[in-house]
Structure 1
Amino acid sequence: MTTIVLLHGIGGASWAPVLPALAPARVLDWPLPGFAGTPMPAETSFAGWAGLLRDRLDAEGIPRIDLIGHSIGGMLALDFALRFPERVRGLVLYATTPAFGGRDPAFAEAFLAERLAPLEAGQDMAALAESSIRPMLRPGTPAPLVHLAVDAMAAAPEAAYRAAVRCLTTFNRRDDLGRLAAPTLLVAGETDPLAPPKTMERMRDAIRNARLAVLPGCGHLAHLEDPAGFNAAVRGFLQALREG
């Protein structure tokens, strides 16, 4: 049975509501290096992360995976599938983009300044999580799932968060989308301002064997805002892979 690898977003892992939909497959919830008690790498880069993930798969004797990535984890999933296509059977790119938004270096500098400003002003990760996560979730998101997301980001080491934010600004795989070999599902939240459906539609059109599921009323954390809808989309895709 193919192993499913989960790659979390910059706020840390909050996959608990998704796990029942993945059963009975083996699941590897792989933290970005520096998160969840893992050591910080000497250099934080997509190439470095992809190599470390490949090393983990090799160490556990996992030849091929289904890969689900959220936000910056979706960028890593895309990068990994392009670097090591023989290792990926199926790909789920969720609330992500094929490149960092701005080509002008000034855009990246402004983005970094905005994202890191609360930390520079003395906030800790717990305060940043409270101010960042709650506005992303649509009204009515169950309180335990709100707490799950807030607690995940609060637990992220500041150094790992800072390094991941900087790494994010280096990403650009837009011109490589046509090389993706694995069947691909894209999942977008209807109201997500960070990875809007229009952007993900363009991704879908550039990737062979790709389809897009848009979850109504959801933003950037659809797996928490609408677990049933997210799980149905992913479960259907994985079932098609098994039957194909």
Structure 2
Amino acid sequence: MFQPGRRKVILSGGIGGAALLLGGERAEAAPAKGCTFDVAPLEPEPLPPDLTAPAQLARLDGFDLWYWDTGGSGPAIILLHPSTGSGHIWGYQQAAFAAAGYRVIGYSRRGHRGSSAMNAERPGTSADDLRQLMDHLRIERAHLVGSAAGGFTAASFALTWPARVRTVTLACTLLSADPRVLALMPSVREPWWKGLPHEFQELSPSYRGINKEGEALWKSLYAQSRGDHPPGNQPAGEPATVAAIARLTMPALFISGDADLITPPPVARLFANTVKGSELVVLPECGHSAYWERPALFNQAILDFLKRRLA
């Protein structure tokens, strides 16, 4: 059994595959003979259920944020979307986390579908916008789950207002433009990279090969993710550099996909080795959109983490 503060390698059969879990400060090499994975072919994930939680606008300090909220008396989980998404992408997570007893909130950052456009003269930060939304919803502390660009916001918020964060999950994310991180992903800085379709950049070959319906819906949600707003990302707040995240003291989980072309596992491994007592889960045959490609494994990794670290 995993024990916080110790580093172990656990290969566990999961739903449709296996997940590699690392926790603690140093990794021990696992014997090759123990690295057995389910060799059965992946089955396409069913399309996500519709979002059913009530949605509305939070009118904050000169801007609006579109959000949905399942309500309930359980601890709050706030979902922070990637740059290619919006608050509409969390169909796989909303019902699953609510069924586990949590109050689940998803929202669109400024410049994304349903929320206000960014104001170049007064852009604010996405971390402070999150603070204002939590104040608006009267949420003092929350579990934060950030994917990709949403991880920038989650980590910056956790650095600035640590007392308001129960746990933080950072999935498939760079966290900041730290040179140590960029050195591990040279391809994304090449001119040809920007010409690749987003679904090629973000969805694994396995997913694109077996789930054409899911790929089409992902592309549709991406096409709608900005609404009528022009492209561009709001500043996150305090940069979550490698040096900065060493200050994080709340329980932290890093999630990576083994086929992530943007933030491959060495990036998440660097973060997990930096944040004392953190954990790392690597999802098999999974690209940059882990919440979408392997939702059952993604959700279970987070729920198991919350149960284990808050027991």
TM-score in terms of structure 2 length = 0.64
Distance 1:112 1:6 in 2: 31
Corresponding position: 1:7 with 2:75: no
Superposed displacement of residue 80, structure 1: 0.7
Distance 1:100 1:69 in 2: 16
| 8 Å contact from structure 2 (residues 146, 153) kept in 1 | yes
Pick closer, same or farther for the CA change 1:51–1:22 going to 2, 3 Å.
same
Offset from partner CA, 1:177-207 (integer Å, 9 cap, x none): 1111210000000011211111110100100
Superposed displacement of residue 43, structure 1: 4.0
Aligned to 1:97: 174
Aligned to 1:122: none
Pick closer, same or farther for the CA change 1:102–1:20 going to 2, 3 Å.
same
Distance 2:190 2:118 in 1: 20
If each structure's strand is expressed as a fraction of its own residues, which one has the higher value? 2
| 8 Å contact from structure 2 (residues 112, 226) kept in 1 | yes
CA-atom RMSD in angstroms: 3.1
Structure 1 gaps of 5+ residues are: 104-109, 119-127
Aligned to 2:146: 69
| 8 Å contact from structure 2 (residues 149, 173) kept in 1 | yes
Number of positions where the alignment pairs a residue of Structure 1 with one of Structure 2:
225
Q: List aligned pairs for 1:40-79, cutoff 5 A.
A: 40-43=117-120, 48-79=125-156
For 1:54, give the aligned amino acid. Answer: R
Superposed displacement of residue 209, structure 1: 2.2
Pick closer, same or farther for the CA change 1:172–1:90 going to 2, 3 Å.
closer
For 1:153, give the aligned amino acid. Answer: Y
Aligned to 1:214: 282
TM-score in terms of structure 1 length = 0.80
| Helix, strand or coil at the partner of 1:73 | helix
Corresponding position: 1:17 with 2:86: no
| Helix, strand or coil at the partner of 1:199 | helix
Distance 1:58 1:112 in 2: 41
| Helix, strand or coil at the partner of 1:163 | coil
Pick closer, same or farther for the CA change 1:242–1:101 going to 2, 3 Å.
closer
For 2:199, give the aligned amino acid. Answer: I
If each structure's helix is expressed as a fraction of its own residues, which one has the higher value? 1
Between the two proteins, what is the percent identity of the paired residues? 28
Aligned to 2:249: 181
Aligned to 1:154: 223
| 8 Å contact from structure 2 (residues 253, 305) kept in 1 | yes
| 8 Å contact from structure 2 (residues 255, 280) kept in 1 | yes
| Helix, strand or coil at the partner of 2:280 | strand
Aligned to 1:237: 305
Aligned to 1:121: none
Distance 1:44 1:70 in 2: 27
| 8 Å contact from structure 2 (residues 155, 240) kept in 1 | no
